[in-house]
Structure 1
Amino acid sequence: MVILHEFALSSASFRVRIALNLKGVEYKTKSYSLREGEQRSSVFLELNPAGLVPCLEIDGLKLSQSIAIIEYIDGRYPGPQLIPSDPAERAAVQAMALAIACDIHPLNNLRVLEYLEDEMGQSEQVRNRWYEHWVHAGFSALETIFQSQPERQFAAGDNISLADICLVPQFFNARRYNIDMAAYPRLLEISARASALPAFVRAAPVQPNS
């Protein structure tokens, strides 16, 4: 049995659900309330000492970090290839994905926002400005890259890839924070097209702003 330890609104967990769905892997989920600190319980820390979701139990392994998990899934199961084998194409896809997973998401992670609130005493208005700043910084760079490339169905071409798997959850979160994304038409188009695919629909936690 494949078990995904997660939090529904976690964009990293969202990524893994998408990948599992794309590969047709059957799995069960176990949810943890991040706001209540359940990911820091002794039970969860036995799964992942970092105290972060997601964690995937699979093939007798306990895997953490969404990008590493997706790479394992991609190599382990048949189906659409999510990370290209060609070195140049692989580097391009990983660069797009990591621009989100490393440059945007960590700065806007819940534990960072809670630290700004609890330890730094920052107001909700300031925290929202922080969140919006890093979203725009990351997406502005990606939009520039996408505008310089030929039009394509998805982030890296005509097939879904790891880049789309990272893009869609980050757009989802931006909408939850009511961030205006009109400045990123190419990213919006690609995200909307990917979001409509069944694997993405099934992975989505809730509709933004619902």
Structure 2
Amino acid sequence: MATFPLNGSSVSASNTALSLNLKPSSHQKPSVLVPTTIIPSRRRRSLLPALALTNDLGNKFRRARVSHITSATMAAGLSVGEILPPPLTSASDLPAIFDGTSRLYLSYTCPYAQRVWITRNCKGLHEEIKLVPLDLKDRPSWYKEKVYPPNKVPALEHNNEVIGESLDLMKYIDAQFHGPQLLPQDPARREFAEELFSNAGSFHKSVSSTLKGEGDEAVTEAAFDDIEAALSKFDDGPFFLGQFSLADIAYAPFMERYQPVLLDMRNYDVTAKRPKLATWIQEMSKIEGYNQTRRDPKEHVENYNKRFAVILFCPTHQKLDNHVQGETASPLKGFEMSRDFSPVQQLYS
């Protein structure tokens, strides 16, 4: 007997009249009505695949705009001038260390490491500071044991010492190595640069909260408004301090990720009604030292979706994620701790 779905159940074809409360007409011979047999529908194991499919179909327009960002990025010309060494894994031998060579230990996908990488490139230190990339999902044990006990990236080996923290490393490289000075001598501009460095954490907190589905999205909007206002302080150039500086490098890796990711995940265009920010993004794409570190915006979208899609659709997953990270409810801590890069903490950015 054929069955047809009705309100999540299956109803036999011969009993459809009963289910629809139909009575035989007066000129027909009354029929014997048989109780309807309801066959429960099979329970779906998970809503995530269906939700993901619906979300994907509904976001075609946003994906098209992300593709536009990608096209603009490629048009700007991602540099491939430097041949990048492959990331070292747990199976890799310990390279030469403390032999007088300066080395930058990094992950190609870490925004904090990207800050220092950009600084190195913009100073023209490709030969003076060697890149030592690490696979943070399969990190070599010797890195913690013999190179940098905090076991984080970025870290710089220089003068037989290893130091860390991205903002400190940017300033250190600018002061200790030759090349263009990336902080101006003007006291007012240097003071404003320090203010921008200090505010970087709250900016990241606001945006990461939105990506996790936490907090008020108005806070994120205000954070980008603050960026627009900061770009309006000096009128002798399109950058934070007028001319290109470490202040721009501090924000570039995160803006590179947030612009396409927010457009895709939240349908939010960070440049809308923010002409200064739109110009800043365009001008940053002309900085060769930055272009050498950039990744395809589609890759950022894909990686952030992997990171946050389950959290958005499954609250219990977020509790587990916070538990593993050793955090409770702080989006900032969860985001900032990505520098520690355990497999769960990594943003795949």
TM-score range relative to shorter protein: 0.7 to 0.9
User: In structure 2, do the counterparts of structure 1 residues 46 and 139 end up closer, same or farther at CA, with 3 Å as the change threshold?
Assistant: farther
Match of 2:224 among 121, 132, 139: 139
- Of 143, 150, 155, the residue aligned with 2:235 is 150
Q: Which has the larger radius of gyration?
A: 2
**Residue of structure 2 in register with 1:16 after alignment:** 116
For these two proteins, the number of residue pairs brought into alignment is 190
Matching residue within 201, 206, 210 for 2:291: 201
Task: Say whether 1:69 aligns with 2:169.
Answer: yes
CA distance in 2, matches of 1:133, 1:49: 40
1:90 to 1:136, Cα distance in 2 relative to 1, 3 A:
same
Aligned Cα RMSD in Å? 3.0
Deviation at 1:107, TM superposition (A): 6.8
Describe the shift of the 1:45–1:86 C-alpha distance in structure 2 as closer, same or farther (beyond 3 A): farther
Taking a change above 3 Å as real, the CA distance of residues 46 and 133 of structure 1, as seen in their structure-2 partners, is farther
Provide the C-alpha distance between the structure 2 equivalents of 1:42 and 1:108, rounded to a whole number of angstroms. Answer: 35
Percent of aligned pairs sharing the same letter: 24
Report the AA paired with residue 199 of structure 1: G
8 Å CA contact 2:154, 2:164 repeated in 1: yes
How far the C-alpha of 1:54 sits from its partner, in A, is 0.8
Quote the residue 2:156 is aligned against.
56
* Structure 2, unpaired ranges of 5+: 1-100, 264-268, 300-349
Comparing both chains, which one has the higher relative contact order based on Cα–Cα distances under 8 Å and sequence gaps of 6 or more? 1
2: CA distance between counterparts of 1:195 and 1:126?
24
Unmatched tracts of structure 1, length 5 or more: 114-124
1:45 deviates by 6.1
Question: Tell me, what secondary structure is at the counterpart of 2:212?
Answer: helix
Counterpart-to-counterpart distance in 2, 1:17 and 1:48: 18
d(CA) in 2 for partners of 1:2 and 1:155?
A: 30
Measure how far apart 1:11 and its partner are.
1.2
**TM-score of the superposed pair, with normalisation by structure 2:** 0.48
Give the conservation status (yes or no) of the 8 Å contact 2:107–2:113: yes
Give the aligned partner of residue 3 of structure 1: 103
Contact 2:104 2:132 in 1 (8 A): yes
TM-superposed deviation, 1:90: 0.7
Q: Which has the higher helix share?
A: 1
Instruction: Go from structure 1 to structure 2 and tell me whether the alpha carbon gap of 1:66 and 1:148 turns closer, same or farther (over 3 Å shift).
Output: closer
Match of 2:21 in 1: none
TM-score (normalizing by structure 1): 0.75
Residue identity opposite 2:253 in structure 1? P
Assess, with a 3 A threshold, how the Cα gap between structure 1 residues 2 and 105 changes in structure 2: closer, same or farther: farther
Contact 1:164 1:191 (8 Å CA) reproduced? no
How far has the Cα of 1:162 moved from its partner?
Answer: 0.9
Q: 1:200 to 1:52 in 2, by over 3 A?
A: same
3-state SS, counterpart of residue 177 of structure 1 = helix
Query: Which of 189, 192, 204 is the equivalent residue of 1:89?
Result: 189
Post-superposition CA distance 1:50-94 (Å, at most 9, x none) = 443211112222110111101111111222211223322211122
CA gap 1:185/1:139 in 2 versus in 1, 3 angstroms: same
